[in-house]
Amino acid sequence: MARKKELRILCPNGHLGFAPTKEESFRIGAATKPDYYCCDSGSDDIGPAPLGADKSVSMYEWQKHDLELMLLAAREQGVPMIIGSAGDTGSNSRVDLYVQIIKDLAKKHRLPKFKLAYFYSEVDKAYIKKKMEQGIVIEGLDGRAPLTMEDLEKTDRIVAVAGVHPYIKALEMGADVIIGGRSSDCAVFAAPAIKEGFPEDLAYYLGKVLECASFCAEPYGAKETVIGTITDHDVKVTAMHPQQRCTIASVSGHAMYERSNPYYEYVAGGMLDMTNCRYEQYDEKTCRITGPKFIPVEGKVKVKLEGSGKVGEKYIGIAGIRDPYTIQHIDQVIDWASSQVKESFSGVDYHLDFKIYGKNGVMGDLEPVKEIRSHELCVIVEGIAPTKELAEAITLMGTRQLFYARLPEVKGTAGTAAFVVDEVLPATAAYRWTMNHVIPVDDPMELFEVKMIEVGGDPE
């Protein structure tokens, strides 16, 4: 079969469902009849709680809206649609949610039959444990030590971050729509380009530049459609919004976004090296990129694992302070409140944290301004403990003891803190990123089983 000279992929949104896709630029893009509709729908930026608690942080209606736009355009044209990291976390329940939305939409719009492929990304703790017992080291990323049994015990949910492999497999199986579990953002776009025979060097770059949609365009405006075009020699990226352009500055600047280094991007199977990328203004709305290099991993493919574990239940207390003497002695006040909690709850495994706004509430130890310049302070008390009752009691004591602080020279002896409410407020349970590691595998498909179903074609 003769191969296409170029492949065009439309990306409507940098995080499907997180905020709704803007329709105007999507329709302009769809009218050009791209070869694929691809979008990533997840992030680890949202903290460990959604993965731990197995929740989305996006509104269901927004997720459905974005999937509906893409599904209808892709089915009308008869081209594939690919979604990665379903429902913010890419956990199994989020994949099921998106698969159900696709089924519902097919029914609602009476779409003719099509093939829906999906794969899960969750990894069983028992599987990791077995690997560790076999002596396999689960290496830490970003300066973390190798995974210990203790880290694993503290983990509630683990997702493996897929590379291109399950997507290519699903496309080879003839999928029209793919709903993926947790995946590298760029794999969602690189996979179809690689499957269609384009060079890996450019395919991974295409993924890197498209994954955040209009974040690679200027002026700033999120949730707008961009289209990436790959050939055997270059990648071109074009903004679809009438007022946006992809420029050398916007595209090269995007390489830095949310990454520790603008030159290297790691995925299961290798690393994209952007050191020698060249950027040119191709036309008014298009930037052309040449020179990226994909360096396949030596030895076994290493798949990233993200794990979240529950720390405890959480409450939040709020206190205000206006007395200048108390402000000057705020550290003593906090010490007093901490000591009172410590005395009453010895033996309980709790966390108690005081954030002092007006001093260093936002930056903590990183704050270079050491003296207090404010005439008033707000103290946010964060208390975490194994049960709701304990978390409430600890947070309440930590907050209320700010009211009873013992300062020798204080004039106001009727209360050393002002309360908005004389209670503490329940928050979602506290979680921690217990795993940011990689696991070596013989076959990258070992962790991702692709399933295929037929959807649509329902009788009227």
Partner 1 sequence: MNEILTKSPAGKHVKLADLAKTIRSKNAGTDKITFDIIFREKESYELVKASRRITRESIAKLFGIPVERISDFVEFDPAYAIKFTIYRSAPSGSPGERDIFGCQQYAPLLDIEIPLEPEHKN
Nearest CA to 37 among 127, 113, 130, 102? 102
Q: Is it true that the peptide bond before 219 is cis, omega within 30 degrees of 0?
A: yes
In the list 24, 258, 443, 449, the residue contacting partner 1 (rule: CB under 8 A) is 258
Half-sphere exposure of 185 (CA within 13 A, CB side): 23
- Min. distance of Cβ 23 from partner 1 in angstroms? 27
What would the x/- binding string for partner 1 be over residues 184 to 223, using CB under 8 A? Answer: ----------------------------------------
In the list 199, 221, 262, 386, the residue contacting partner 1 (rule: CB under 8 A) is 262
Contacts of 269 (CB under 8 A, 6+ apart): 163, 164, 165, 296, 297, 301, 444
Cβ proximity to partner 1: between 31 and 363 the closer is: 363
In the list 253, 358, 386, 426, the residue contacting partner 1 (rule: CB under 8 A) is 253
Which amino acid type is present at position 342?
K
Cβ proximity to partner 1: between 369 and 421 the closer is: 369
**Which residues, numbered 377-396, are part of the site for partner 1 (CB under 8 A)?**
382, 384
In the list 72, 248, 372, 410, the residue contacting partner 1 (rule: CB under 8 A) is 248
In the list 115, 342, 355, 451, the residue contacting partner 1 (rule: CB under 8 A) is 355
For 130, the token pair is 């077995």
Please count the other Cβ atoms lying within 10 Å of the Cβ belonging to residue 154: 16
Interface stretch with partner 1, choices 104-112, 135-143, 147-155, 195-203 (CB under 8 A)? 135-143
Q: Does 261 help bind partner 1 (rule: CB under 8 A)? A: yes
Calculate the CA 275 to chain-centre distance. Answer: 25
Q: Does 259 help bind partner 1 (rule: CB under 8 A)? A: yes
Does an H or E element contain 67, and which? Answer: helix 60-77
Interface stretch with partner 1, choices 10-18, 206-214, 360-368, 398-406 (CB under 8 A)? 360-368
- Min. distance of Cβ 363 from partner 1 in angstroms? 6
Cβ proximity to partner 1: between 324 and 364 the closer is: 364
364: DSSP letter: G
Q: Does 279 help bind partner 1 (rule: CB under 8 A)? A: yes
- Min. distance of Cβ 115 from partner 1 in angstroms? 34
- Min. distance of Cβ 391 from partner 1 in angstroms? 11
Contacts of 216 (CB under 8 A, 6+ apart): 209, 210, 226, 237, 246, 250, 251, 254
- Min. distance of Cβ 436 from partner 1 in angstroms? 5
Number of residues that bind partner 1 (CB under 8 A): 46
Interface stretch with partner 1, choices 73-81, 316-324, 430-438, 446-454 (CB under 8 A)? 430-438
Q: Does 436 help bind partner 1 (rule: CB under 8 A)? A: yes
**Which residues, numbered 309-348, are part of the site for partner 1 (CB under 8 A)?**
311
Using CA atoms, how far apart are residues 185 and 207, in angstroms rounded to an integer? Answer: 7
Concatenating the DSSP letter of every residue in 306-347 gives: EEEEEEEEEEEEEEEE--HHHHHTHHHHHHHHHHHHHHHTTT
Q: Does 44 help bind partner 1 (rule: CB under 8 A)? A: yes
In the list 133, 298, 343, 365, the residue contacting partner 1 (rule: CB under 8 A) is 365
Yes or no: say if 257 and 215 are a contact pair by the CB < 8 Å rule: yes
Q: Does 426 help bind partner 1 (rule: CB under 8 A)? A: no
Q: How far is CA 208 from CA 81, 124, 237, 267, in A?
A: 18, 29, 11, 11
Q: Does 49 help bind partner 1 (rule: CB under 8 A)? A: yes
Burial 121-135 (b: 16+ CB within 10 A, else e): bbbeeeebeebbeee
Yes or no: say if 100 and 55 are a contact pair by the CB < 8 Å rule: no
Contacts of 434 (CB under 8 A, 6+ apart): 48, 151, 152, 154, 155, 307, 308, 309
**Which residues, numbered 137-156, are part of the site for partner 1 (CB under 8 A)?**
141-144
- Min. distance of Cβ 142 from partner 1 in angstroms? 4
Using CA atoms, how far apart are residues 332 and 407, in angstroms rounded to an integer? Answer: 8
Which residues of the shown chain bind partner 1 in the complex (CB under 8 A)? 44-49, 141-144, 248-249, 252-253, 255-263, 277, 279, 306, 311, 351, 353, 355, 361-369, 382, 384, 430-433, 436
